[in-house]
């Protein structure tokens, strides 16, 4: 029943936007972008923090006047940065933290734009990459671990800022093609080609990069960092083909293809491999 309701709602919204595009194209575009970029869940309240984050040191940083939240588990000077995905927050790392806390490294997790305790309503990978950049300027992390769009934000960050201090990357269920994400959204709402064109032109104007060039696997052709790319065959959110694209172009990457983990990618075996990867020379 819920699936039927969801289908009817999405198609009704799409029909409304398609009709609006012939009356007020600019408004239709703005509403469509808001639906694409505003998460519906993933917020946190300080008075009801998940146990995972209660014992971390909290630090608030800023980008363009907006506060974004970080959580720090203190260790040595070699820092691991955790970058979560869409409609989540830093507590999503609950299951990997026990493996990472056995290492001597300092661990920092970040709340994405419009997620957790971070300000804002709009989420996108380029903005997320700017948060990473602000944090990297202060802490110089050596290892970046990203799940889902958090992984895409990492690849955009490395593409834009060429941070040679970063030595190792882990991508878990990460999308590569922004075009694919946009097309999936268009298909979900059955939006017409007029709105699709308006949105794609808006992305170019907003991010200064053509949608076809906004692809992590293309960025990765120039990456020198060691990497683990992990993707699950049963991932229905970000299809496994996205992980395979990274694996083909990232010269210094190990590709791990799992079966049965879905998009969450939670696995003790996988997390131990990541911990071993971090400690190896």
Annotate 88-139 with three-state secondary structure.
Answer: CCHHHHHHCHHHHCCCCEEEEEECCCCCECCCCCCCCHHHHHHHHHHHHHHH
Q: Which H or E run includes 228?
A: strand 226-232
**Helix (H/G/I), strand (E/B), else coil: 86:** coil
pLDDT in tens, 184-218: 999 999 999 999 999 999 999 999 999 999 999 99
CA gap 111, 118 in Å, rounded: 6
Strand duo 226-232 + 253-258: pairing: parallel
pLDDT in tens, 23-82: 999 999 999 999 999 999 999 999 999 999 999 999 999 999 999 999 999 999 999 999
Q: How far is CA 111 from CA 62, 99, 100, 204, in A?
A: 12, 20, 18, 26
**Helix (H/G/I), strand (E/B), else coil: 260:** coil
Check residue 2 and give its pLDDT.
65
The pLDDT mean for the chain works out to 95
Question: Which among 41, 36, 85, 54 has a CA at the least distance from the CA of 188?
Answer: 36
Q: How far is CA 63 from CA 59, 126, 130, 139, 260, in A?
A: 14, 12, 7, 15, 38
Predicted confidence band of residue 5 (pLDDT cuts 50, 70, 90):
confident
In the chain, which residue ranges form alpha helices assigned H by DSSP?
A: 2-20, 25-37, 51-54, 97-100, 125-139, 149-161, 178-189, 193-207, 216-219, 240-249, 268-279
Q: Which two tokens stand for residue 108?
A: 């920092």
pLDDT (mean) for 245-252:
97
Give the pTM.
Answer: 0.95
Taking the domain 49-176+215-281, which CATH number applies?
3.40.50.1820
Q: What's phi and psi for 72, nearest 5 deg?
A: -125, 130
Strand duo 66-73 + 57-63: pairing: antiparallel
| Domain extents in the chain | 1-37+178-213, 49-176+215-281
């Amino acid at each position: 029943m819920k699936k039927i309701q969801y289908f009817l709602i999405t198609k009704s919204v799409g029909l409304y936007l398609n009709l609006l595009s012939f009356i007020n194209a600019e408004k239709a575009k703005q509403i469509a972008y808001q639906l694409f970029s505003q998460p519906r869940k993933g917020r946190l309240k300080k008075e009801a923090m998940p146990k995972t984050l209660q014992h971390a040191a909290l630090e608030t940083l800023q980008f363009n006047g907006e506060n974004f939240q970080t959580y720090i588990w203190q260790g040595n000077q070699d820092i691991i940065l955790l970058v979560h995905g869409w409609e989540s927050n830093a507590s999503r790392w609950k299951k990997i933290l026990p493996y990472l806390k056995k290492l001597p490294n300092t661990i920092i997790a970040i709340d994405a734009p419009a997620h957790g305790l971070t300000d804002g309503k709009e989420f996108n990978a380029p903005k997320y990459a700017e948060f990473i950049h602000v944090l990297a300027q202060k802490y110089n992390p050596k290892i970046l671990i990203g799940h889902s769009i958090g992984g895409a934000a990492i690849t955009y960050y490395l593409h834009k800022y060429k941070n040679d201090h970063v030595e190792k990357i882990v991508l878990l269920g990460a999308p590569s093609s922004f075009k694919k994400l946009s097309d999936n959204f268009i298909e979900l709402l059955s939006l017409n080609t007029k709105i699709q064109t308006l949105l794609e032109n808006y992305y170019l104007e907003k991010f200064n990069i053509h949608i076809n060039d906004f692809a992590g696997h293309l960025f990765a052709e120039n990456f020198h960092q060691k990497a683990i790319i992990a993707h699950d065959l049963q991932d229905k959110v970000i299809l496994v083909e996205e992980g395979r694209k990274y694996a083909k172009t990232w010269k210094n990457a190990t590709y791990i293809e799992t079966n049965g983990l879905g998009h969450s990618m939670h696995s003790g075996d996988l997390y131990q491999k990541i911990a071993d990867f971090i400690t190896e020379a």
